[in-house]
Structure 1
Amino acid sequence: MRIVFAGTPEVALPTLAALHASDHEVAAVLTRPDAPTGRGRRLHRSPVAAWADEHGVEVLTPAKPREPEFLDRLRAIAPDLVPVVAYGALVPPAALDIPRLGWINLHFSLLPAWRGAAPVQYAVLNGDTMTGACVFQLEPGLDTGPVYGRLTEPVGPRDTAGDLLDRLAVAGARLTLDVVNGLDVGALTGAPQPEDGISYAPKVTVDDARVRWTDPAFAVDRRVRAVTPAPGAWTDLDGQRLRLGPVTPDPDAPRLAPGEVAVGKKAVHVGTATEAVRLGQVQPAGKKPMDAASWGRGLQTAPRFA
């Protein structure tokens, strides 16, 4: 089968590599345009584009996939199918109609739960104990198409969104290849999604990643893990952001007021609405990450987080 693969971040690479190593032909990749990153704001290729460059695969980078030039090129390539993993842009009907078998999307949730941009983050934030991935037919609605295959994955009590996404990306690559193989021989029919159990996971913002110390400890823990590694949890310290790695609720710690900080010889605790949490790694503004105990030893007085 002739394929154009659509994806942008590293999480898309396992599926791209699996398709490239299969009997199918990856004729091109579709990815987001080069973007400025780092302090120097230099333009960098997306992980998918960089992978394609290394493997001699054509790279398509329209600013928007409705551009006539892109649509003309996609028609010229004439793919049978476009598998998608975290491409990052809405695909218009004009593009959806070009491949013989349409577009299929690997989505990291058990649809119809957590439709949208951040399903893994919301699964962790809401304390789900089970999640998974689905491959479904892309259509104009938001993650509404019929499902060709799914897998389940338990959410561990200390999993960050990054941990979970890494596992789902690998398992999802195998699932996507199975679906592509099934579609190639006409052996699959998509199952409509249930009408109940629908929930939404919009993009996680930097403000969403700010820790609310007036929340109970379990909610603080979930929020931090949900936004690790990106966009990264943070709290306000004297008007500057202090980035936080995963924290641990500690029912044996002394009771502290929300945001109150207690610095010990081997640990730093912060109060919540319930028990205190023990900080793990912290990163003050303009500095490298360090363990909280080392950071605490350098403080003149115990701060209070806002």
Structure 2
Amino acid sequence: MTAARSPLRIVYMGTPDFAVPALQKLIESPDEVVGVVTNPDRPSGRGKKLTPPPVKVAAEAAGIEVYQPEKLRGPEVLEHLRAWNPDVIVVAAYGQILRNDVLLLPRYGCINIHASLLPAYRGAAPINWAIVRGEAESGVTIMQMERGLDTGPMLLKRKTPIEELDTAQDLHDRLAEMGAELIEDVMRLIHLDSLNPIVQDDAQSSYAPMLKKSDGEIDFRKSAREVADLIRGMNPWPGAFAFLHTPEGPQRVKLHLARAHSAATNGADTGAAPGEVIRADEQGLHIACGQGYIECLTLQAPGKRALPVSDFLNGFDLQTDHHFLLPDERSD
């Protein structure tokens, strides 16, 4: 007869929505989440109301103590963590770098849920850049943390295809659930003393830098595939955008979803310049790219909400002689 296992004492570090499913999975597990570390409440929305991070909301709903240091510096932070006596610290999109003394505190170290197939897309925005750069698949890697940026040994990995119309939000939600399932598996392997860490191949690594608002500007000189990937990868934040040339001046239009077409409209070459509107009618909105064209599916006019293309065209004067400016055609 196998002896009952002693619950692991888990400290969980995370901040945004991505980190919530894994926290909930650990709360429901036989192990014990003894404390949660998350970023401080921040002003949010038009009213700039002080808003708690999603992880804080989930932790407090479960009656778990929450600690919100501004920075992971100072002896008081380490003392707070040490008082919880963790066997393992689980980290998911926490948003701060862990000091070496924190990494060494638990007997099983710190374990990170990373939203890419490491060593690809180390860094802050792996979901977005995997879509923008046209990857066919993504996934989640559970890794043992060390001082380098997402460089630690890999413990478990699982893949998922990136579908043609997946946005960053779609992939985010899928990977968050996948990460929750994998961290549960890792906890089980810790109990069985069956972890098999695999060292990353640094030669195969790539970087996913933090997103800036300017990353969302569309350059229609790129191929239709590249433009559609950018639009999907920037949805919901920072959002892909282009400026429509009008007599009144450039109008900023957000593009939320588009499908790439390598062939021109109706099987013939458009002969259109990149950024030119080649169709704007009941059959759709098509914009010429350096190669092929995009079929716009969801757009947002200035000061309006996002709409399906048919509703957008009903309320926005867009014709086939209009064109969107290239980034170097406008002056800010």
In the TM superposition, 1:58-97 aligns within 5 A as 58-97=65-104
8 Å CA contact retained: 1:66, 1:94: no
- 1:301 shift after superposition: 5.4
Per-residue CA deviations over 1:226-257 (Å, capped at 9, x if unaligned) read: 11122221112344432111111243427232
Of 324, 327, 330, which aligns to 1:305?
324
Say whether 1:118 aligns with 2:125: yes
Identity score, percent? 38
The answer on whether the counterparts of 2:35 and 2:64 sit within 8 Å (CA) in structure 1 is yes
The CA distance in 2 between the partners of 1:77 and 1:220, in whole Å, is 48
Quote the Cα distance in structure 2 between the aligned partners of 1:301 and 1:192. 54
Among 261, 265, 290, the alignment partner of 1:253 is 265
Kept in 2, the 8 Å contact 1:244–1:279? The answer is yes
1:294 CA drift (Å): 2.4
Distance 2:239 2:302 in 1: 13
- 1:201 deviates by 0.9
**Are residue 274 (structure 1) and residue 291 (structure 2) matched?**
yes
State the alpha-carbon separation in 1 of the partners of residues 78 and 181 from structure 2: 29
Residue type of the alignment partner of 1:260? E
Structure 2 gaps, min length 5: 1-7, 326-332
Letter in 2 for 1:244: L
- Give the secondary structure class of the aligned counterpart of 2:208: coil
3-state SS of 1:280 partner? strand
Q: Partners of 1:108 and 1:300 in 2: how far apart?
A: 40
Deviation at 1:94, TM superposition (A): 2.2
How far apart, CA to CA, are the structure 1 residues paired with 2:243 and 2:85?
Answer: 52
Once residues 31 and 259 of structure 2 are traced to their aligned partners in structure 1, the CA distance between those partners, rounded to angstroms, is 46
Q: Kindly indicate whether the alpha-carbon contact (under 8 Å) linking 1:66 and 1:95 is maintained by their aligned counterparts in 2.
A: no
Confirm or deny: 8 A CA contact 1:66 1:91 kept in the other structure. Answer: no
CA distance in 2, matches of 1:235, 1:116: 27
SS in 2 for 1:148: strand
Q: Tell me if the contact between 1:265 and 1:297 (Cα under 8 Å) persists in the aligned partners.
A: no
Q: Give the Cα–Cα distance (whole angstroms) in 2 for the partners of residues 183 and 153 of structure 1.
A: 25
Secondary structure in 1 aligned to 2:69?
Answer: coil
- Counterparts of 1:95 and 1:249, CA distance in 2: 46
Instruction: Give CA-to-partner distance per residue, 1:159-217, whole Å, 9 cap, x none.
Output: 22221221121122111111122123422132211233111111122111111111110
Greater mean alpha carbon deviation, residues 31-40 or residues 177-186: 177-186
Partner residue in 1 for 2:162: 155
Amino acid in structure 2 at the alignment position of 1:285: P
Runs of 5+ consecutive residues of structure 1 not aligned to the other structure? none
Could you tell which deviates more after superposition, 250-259 or 62-71? 250-259
Quote the offset at 1:129 in angstroms.
1.4
The 8 Å contact of residues 78 and 102 in structure 2, kept in 1 or not, is answered as yes
Shift of 1:25: 0.5
Moved over 4 A (4+): none
1:79, CA displacement in angstroms? 0.8
The answer to which of 280-289 and 135-144 deviates more is 280-289
> Cα distance, 1:153 vs. partner?
1.4
Amino acid of the structure 1 residue aligned with 2:30: D
Q: Which amino acid aligns with 2:324?
A: F
CA distance in 2, matches of 1:239, 1:46: 37
Q: Which amino acid aligns with 2:265?
A: A
Question: Is 1:286 matched up with 2:292?
Answer: no
In structure 1, the partner of 2:191 is 184
Question: In the TM superposition, what is the alpha-carbon distance from 1:93 to its structure 2 partner?
Answer: 0.9
Q: Which of 1 and 2 has greater Rg? A: 2
* Alignment length (residue pairs): 306
Q: TM-score, normalised by structure 2?
A: 0.87
Task: State how far apart, in whole Å, the 2-side matches of 1:44 and 1:240 are.
Answer: 32
Equivalent residue of 1:245, what SS? Answer: strand
Select the residue among 13, 19, 24 that pairs with 2:31.
Answer: 24
Q: 1:205 aligns with which of 203, 208, 212?
A: 212
Report if aligned partners of 2:301, 2:316 keep a CA contact under 8 Å in 1. no
Q: Distance in 1 between matches of 2:94 and 2:78?
A: 16
CA distance in 2, matches of 1:195, 1:300: 51
Task: Say if 2:257 and 2:299, in contact at 8 Å, map to a contact too.
Answer: no
Q: Distance in 2 between matches of 1:300 and 1:124?
A: 31
How far apart, CA to CA, are the structure 2 residues paired with 1:239 and 1:68? 53
